[in-house]
Structure 1
Amino acid sequence: MLTRRHGAILKLLEARGALTVGALAQELGVSTETVRREIRALVEAGAAVRVHGAVGLAGQIGEAPFERRMRENAAAKGAIARALAERIGDGDSLMLDTGTTTSFLARALLDRRRLTVVTNSLDIARTLATVNGNRIFMAGGALRSDSGAALGATALDFIQGFTVQHAIISAGAVDETGVMDFDLQEAEFARAVLACGERRVVVTDASKFGRRGFVRVTGFEGLHDLISDQPPPPGIAASIAAAGVSITLAAAADEGR
């Protein structure tokens, strides 16, 4: 029989992936010995497994980082994707960088026809290829093992030959100065995507607001639209408004459905 504490441990592991005994004890406000006892019961029941000094859900161990990120804030990302998909019609052209929110957008576009899509994301290309008469152009180069994305000089050279209606990037971090990322190559690719679009859009769930990344992608003046699930904090909202960028709140848009 699983106890309430067992349920709390499983929820933490589902939301955050594998955790150490110490981290679980701190989250639950109990001793490490208590956590070890509860983990022993979960492991014996087949609900959890021990791995590298930590414990994780049995079904998630070995899960790719990208798949794990797809589960994080999934409801918010899905709402953002649906809100943006409403602005994209049959026959439109768009360029998407790699990211979980842009992958959600690809799934929200499965009922569109004759799209022209340029991307460096294997997940996006695989989602939209071979359906509804779409044309998919996949940037080449070495694929990242963690995200299935092609990055580097070859990918950058490839996309610079396109002009699309919608240039859409995801954000790793957003503060009062603009959009940032934590990876140099991903930031370079996102910046190149924006340069190819007639309308430049960033999609981000609210967890990215207030973060500071290592690499600047663009100031708000380089964007037309920002789509999120919650309003930005006042300082960021003021910077966005000063740049003349339109903010769409996906949750509010969905409530009227």
Structure 2
Amino acid sequence: MDYSPRHGRILTLLGEEGTIGVSELAQRLDVSVETVRRDIKALAGRGDIVRMHGAIGLPSAVSEAPFERRMRENRQAKEAIARLAASTIRDGESIMLDTGTTTSILARALLDHRRLTVVTNSSDIARTLATVNGNKVYMAGGELRSDSGAALGFSAIEFVNRFSVDHAIISAGAVNAVTGVMDYDLEEAQFGQAVLARGRRRVVVTDASKFGQKGLVRVCALSDFGEMIVNRAPPDDLAEALNRAEVAVKVCA
């Protein structure tokens, strides 16, 4: 079947990454979102791709577990965010991380660090950083989600409330100027709140596909954290709201 050069580029990107957000795809192709949506409609009509909420994927990738699929979405942006976040953490410091694809990728960016103390509810993060380079890893207990392998609920929150750490870092399901940081799961939102309360430095890491989204459950107000690490500058309304809340926005190269 014949494809336009841009359609071929879309399929090549999906072959490399499995899934990708619509806004991220438009940026990487240097075209408008409207143009990308027309391309998506054509490719989906042929059965070459599958449309998801705010993203597209190859049919083979969509059969992956949801957490594994999200790990592939906007992967380059998340890796750039993770590298910048890791550069702000020194050997020997303590970190608390919630479950999320960006924080899981951050854990991989910390593999060259030494003697870290890590507190998390994510079995993926715990496996990544435990038993290497003299690290100490403490994992919250509780019911493990079959999707993400994260411990959630009252016992997980009670556990992390015993700690005070240098860096409390959470991921975000959505960020907007009015409601702040939001998620799509109540227990994950409650755990994110608990993490931010335990850090001397409070950081939200998120890729630009979450800007302007509303989510379902509020995690925190913009004034409840001090830094946001992103791959692209926020839109004007969100940037203004972050500035009013005295949040330092760090944009990765």
Same fold at TM > 0.5: yes
Structure 2 residue aligned with 1:98 = 99
Determine the C-alpha separation between the residues in 1 that align with 2:38 and 2:228: 39
Structure 2 residue aligned with 1:185 = 187
Determine the C-alpha separation between the residues in 2 that align with 1:83 and 1:248: 9
Paired residue total? 225
- Quick one: which amino acid aligns to residue 221 of structure 1? S
Quick one: structure 1 residues 241 and 135, their matched pair in 2 at CA, closer, same or farther if it must change by over 3 Å? same
CA-to-aligned-CA distance 1:131-165 (integer Å, 9 cap, x gap):
00000000111111111111011111111000000
2:253 paired with 1:242: no
- 1:31 positional shift: 10
- Quick one: which amino acid aligns to residue 226 of structure 2? H
Does the residue aligned with 2:152 lie in a helix, a strand or coil?
Answer: coil
- 1:189 positional shift: 0.2
Quick one: structure 1 residues 26 and 233, their matched pair in 2 at CA, closer, same or farther if it must change by over 3 Å? closer
2:117 paired with 1:113: no
Does the residue aligned with 1:66 lie in a helix, a strand or coil?
Answer: helix
2:40 paired with 1:27: yes
Contact 1:10–1:57 (Cα < 8 Å) also in 2: no
Using the size of structure 1 for normalisation, the TM-score is 0.80
Tell which structure's C-alpha radius of gyration is larger.
Answer: 1
CA-to-aligned-CA distance 1:103-153 (integer Å, 9 cap, x gap):
111011000000000000111001001100000000111111111111011
Where structure 2 has 5 or more consecutive residues not aligned to the other structure, the ranges are: 22-36, 50-56
Does the residue aligned with 2:212 lie in a helix, a strand or coil?
Answer: coil
Contact 1:172–1:181 (Cα < 8 Å) also in 2: yes
- 1:27 positional shift: 2.9
- Quick one: which amino acid aligns to residue 202 of structure 1? V
Q: How does 1:14-93 map to 2 (within 5 A)?
A: 14-15=18-19, 27-29=40-42, 35=46, 57-58=59-60, 60=61, 62-93=63-94
Does the residue aligned with 1:75 lie in a helix, a strand or coil?
Answer: helix
- Quick one: which amino acid aligns to residue 15 of structure 1? T
CA-to-aligned-CA distance 1:161-206 (integer Å, 9 cap, x gap):
0000000000000000311111100000000000100010000000
Q: How does 1:220-235 map to 2 (within 5 A)?
A: 220-235=222-237
Using the size of structure 2 for normalisation, the TM-score is 0.81
Contact 2:19–2:69 (Cα < 8 Å) also in 1: no
Structure 2 residue aligned with 1:157 = 158
Structure 2 residue aligned with 1:4 = 3
Does the residue aligned with 1:4 lie in a helix, a strand or coil?
Answer: coil
Where structure 1 has 5 or more consecutive residues not aligned to the other structure, the ranges are: 18-23, 40-47, 49-54, 252-257
- Quick one: which amino acid aligns to residue 245 of structure 1? V
